[in-house]
Structure 1
Amino acid sequence: MSRVKPALTSWLGGLALLALSVAAPLAGAEEACNKPVYLTFDTGTMSVAPLVAQVLDRQHVRVTFFAAAERTIEGGDSLDNHWRDWWRARADAGDEFASHTYDHVYWRGDEKSVEPRFRVRPSAGALADREFTWTAAQYCANIAQSEQRLLDLTGKKPLPLFRAPGGKISNKLLAAARKCGYAHVGWSAAGFLGDELPSDKYPNDKLLAQALRDIRPGDILLAHLGIRSRQDPWAPAVLEPLITGLKERGFCFRTMREHPDYQGWFAARADAAAAPGATAR
């Protein structure tokens, strides 16, 4: 018995060292990447959502989703219970989430008023295609509605970020959103992947070549989970070749949680939430 225990201990120790030797290069490769890009998806019709999930899982890529309750090909919306399992699986995979405004609300202009007021036009939900004047509180409430629905669907707290539909913003809108707890995320010029553009003028092979040529480290990339107007869908042809092509060029993929420009914002929000008397947003 005295000879068996040392042998067993030695065998277990060797196994542990082997595991560390395998893991260390992987961890080192992950940490050594100095060419990050930040792939993000807005919701859209969800027509390619299953395919996108398969590609991300196969390529071991984590992304950030900006969600609105947009009309889907099934006739429901992208945040209804039909998609609950899909959203939950994305959370389990390690993806991140943030608001795209619940009703996909386009900013149309600032009102001349003492308190911030905005002309807006939702493109989804019961208010779709009508123009309104909203206070900052109303606009923030629509951001928060998407955030809460994402939390309900995924069980994971979304990031304190939002993306304005169409990227349409003003300094006054950004200041109002920050005051109620949300920083805006746009996209890089080269990160606009073109899946909203007409496919006759912007075919998939052209968009892929352009992205692989122009994307630079630190870029925020934008695509959608389905665009109704594009005849030749972008994702089935471009998404995986884009990911593999960028990897071959030394790029790595990160979520917006890891973006250096937002680290101070996240820390400030965490401090605010931890302050005595703070209430959950």
Structure 2
Amino acid sequence: MESGPKTTPRADMHRAALQIATFLVAACASAAGAAGTNACENPVYLTLDTGHMEVAPMMAEVLKRQQVRVTFFVANERTKVADGSLGNAWGSWWRSVAADGHEFASHTYDHVVWRGDLPGVKPSFRMQPTAGALEGREFTWDAAKYCEQIERAARRIEDFTGKKSLPLFRAPSGKTSPRLLAVAESCGYAHVGWAPAGFLGDELPSEKYSNEMLLQKALRDIRKGDILMAHLGIWSRKDPWAPAVLEPLIVGLKAKGFCFDTLRNHPAYKDWIAAHGG
């Protein structure tokens, strides 16, 4: 009694080849899934503060070409073109970079620099806007006024992009005090500085710090987990850092085994972001 259809050597070989191919496809899929899970094993976190914006479109092109996502810290700074970095003329550009998957956080609306704490039970501070109608003047602000400045920039970028800003902020010039940071946290914003090696030097005078010098220093010193900081244009630097250094820096860091991620996934901030609706 026959138990089934007879097979030929050719059919057996075909069946074996099909089984091997199926195994290889499954193995490749598994490897791809693992690679996707561990896609950024050696992350660095590039952040870009607003500036005069002249180089911003070219910088966005570099980021898109290199498939790098960054976190923008936004303020309504004076620009070389149009009506301020958070002015209506830049709205379509902000929408386009949001569509590319970048993240956003506040840099205070009027790019307000902390000048000092004032005595008293209730927190108050000496503050100096460096943009807007009150540029250059010094004021005394209470906690509510400072929180309003942080939130105003966050709301403005959300209006442009339709994307919720991260509950993070960066104080202009990086100047803070424990009391100022406590006020910001009370209204839902954690402060983000940068790593020592992550200061990319685009604010420094090009007469003393050439682009090549800054590039080589960054490639030498940056380490896994570092937050990097540069700007969308610096007024004072004669030989602009951006976009000249940006792409060689990205390519060089990739060649050293680094990858790029946004602050949404930074281990120091991801729980804060999740807890504060980011």
Q: TM-score, normalised by structure 1?
A: 0.87
Alpha-carbon distance change, 231 to 135 in structure 1, aligned in 2, over 3 angstroms? same
CA distance in 1: counterparts of 2:33 and 2:99, whole angstroms: 21
**2:55 equivalent to 1:55:** no
User: Offset of 1:52 from its aligned partner?
Assistant: 0.7
**Partner deviation per Cα, 1:26-76 (whole Å, 9 max, x = no partner):** 760661532110000000100110111000000000000000000000252
Contact kept in structure 1, 2:53 and 2:81, CA below 8 Å: no
Structure showing greater radius of gyration is 2
Paired residue for 1:217?
Answer: 224
Tell me the amino acid that sits aligned with residue 165 of structure 2.
P
Q: In 2, distance between residues paired with 1:23 and 1:59? A: 26
Q: Give the superposition deviation at 1:254.
A: 0.4
- Equivalent residue number for residue 80 of structure 1: 87
1:87-166 matches, cutoff 5 A: 87-166=94-173
CA RMSD of aligned residues (A): 2.1
**Contact 1:33 1:252 (C-alpha < 8 Å) held by counterparts:** yes
User: In the alignment, what sits opposite 1:5?
Assistant: none
Residues of 2 paired with 1:50 and 1:60: CA distance? 15
- The answer (yes or no) to whether the contact 1:33–1:250 under 8 Å persists in 2 is no
Please state how far the C-alpha of 1:267 moved relative to its aligned partner: 2.8
Match of 1:168 among 162, 175, 181: 175
Residue 114 of structure 2 contacts residue 126 of structure 2 at CA under 8 Å; is this kept in 1? yes
What is the rounded CA distance, in whole Å, between the counterparts of 1:131 and 1:20 in structure 2?
64
1:234-273 matches, cutoff 5 A: 234-270=241-277
Please tell me whether the aligned partners of residues 96 and 158 of structure 1 are also in contact (alpha carbons under 8 angstroms): yes
Contact 2:40 2:260 in 1 (8 A): no
Report SS of the residue matched to 1:202.
coil
Cα distance change of structure 1 residues 118 and 20 upon mapping to structure 2, 3 Å threshold: farther
Relative distance call for 1:206 and 1:263 in structure 2 (3 A) is same
- Identical-residue share of aligned pairs (%): 63
Contact 1:40–1:66 (CA<8 Å) still a contact in 2? yes
Aligned partner letter, 1:146:
A
- Note the C-alpha offset of 1:85: 1.2
Where 1:223 maps in the other structure, the secondary structure is strand
Q: Is the 8 A contact 2:44 2:258 kept in 1?
A: yes
Partner of 2:185: 178
Instruction: Give the AA of the match of 2:55.
Output: V
Corresponding residue number in structure 2 for 1:194: 201
- In structure 1, the partner of 2:10 is none
What runs of 5+ residues in structure 1 fail to find an aligned partner? 1-13, 274-281
TM-superposed CA distance for 1:146, in Å, is: 0.2
Give 1:64's aligned residue. Answer: 71
Instruction: Specify the SS of the correspondent of 1:261.
Output: coil
Normalised by the length of structure 2, the TM-score is: 0.88
State how far apart, in whole Å, the 2-side matches of 1:203 and 1:179 are: 41
Structure 2: runs of 5+ lacking an equivalent: 1-20
Could you tell me how far apart the structure 2 residues matched to 1:151 and 1:19 are? Answer: 42
One-letter amino acid matched to 2:238: Q
